[in-house]
Amino acid sequence: MIVNEGVSNSNTTRMIFTDGRGLPEEMSPTWLGYSVGHWEGDTLVVITAGFNDRTWLDFDGHPHSEALRITERFHRRDFGHMDFEMTLEDPKAFTRPITFRANKTLVADTEILETICENKDTPEHLKGVGLFRLSPEALAKFAGTYQFGSGREAVITVDGPTLILKLGGQPAQTFTMAAESETMFVSIGFGERAEFAKDAGGTITGFTFTTGTGLGTGDRPASVQTAVRKESAH
């Protein structure tokens, strides 16, 4: 059984049958599909099918069909680390299988939190009682349009106690950023970080944006980009 933290539907547990059975010939489409597992040496191999087509594959909203079939490989390298590999096959949505890998780290002495879905409301309380707060006047100094060297733009606006960072490109992305200090902001629920730079007069001149740190979106190689301020938002 896998217990998920932060799943948006009510079924937060996933059963993987390891008694030697195969996938049923007929399956009623479900949110999490039907999973069977077997061992190949010290690697647990899990095959899942029987999905409905109502879920996203990622935060960018890439869809899939009911033909989706997933193969996962779990290998515990040592007590605190697990190697994970997932292959997605969906002939109705993709021209070829897609495989990605991630390294999972055991976080001991922690608890599974309950799911909180607040739609358009900023879940700032998820950051805990230590949330660093800036005044509306201080937050307004960060608003504006910023230019990355690759020609990609970012627009930052203020929403209550947070910043909204809209990153252009393909795909476009939006992050709700909470302050951790006077110049450091972290996205709520994802883990991306924006560290702002100031000149001698205290004017915000740009920021460094770090993604793929393994906080909230999985252990991906870190990517660091630097943006230069173009103008202030009105």
Q: CA-CA distance, 211 to 214, in Å (whole number)?
A: 8
Rounded to two decimals, the pTM is 0.54
pLDDT (tens digit, 9 = 90+) per residue, 61-84?
788 999 999 999 999 999 999 999
Quick: pLDDT tens for 167-222.
Answer: 887 677 888 888 888 899 988 766 688 999 999 988 999 999 987 644 333 344 56
CA atoms of 231 and 216, how far apart (whole Å): 31
- d(CA 66, CA 49) in angstroms, rounded, equals 8
φ, ψ of residue 140 in degrees (nearest 5): -60, -25
In sequence order, the β-bridge partners of residue 136 are: none
Q: What is the CB neighbour count within 10 angstroms for residue 49?
A: 19
Instruction: CATH 2.40.128.50 in the chain: give the residue spans.
Output: 124-232
Whether the CB-CB separation of 24 and 34 falls below 8 Å is answered with yes
Cα–Cα distances (Å) from 78 to 3, 75, 104, 148, in that order, read: 21, 9, 11, 40
Q: How many residues belong to the chain?
A: 234
Architecture of domain 124-232: Beta Barrel (2.40)
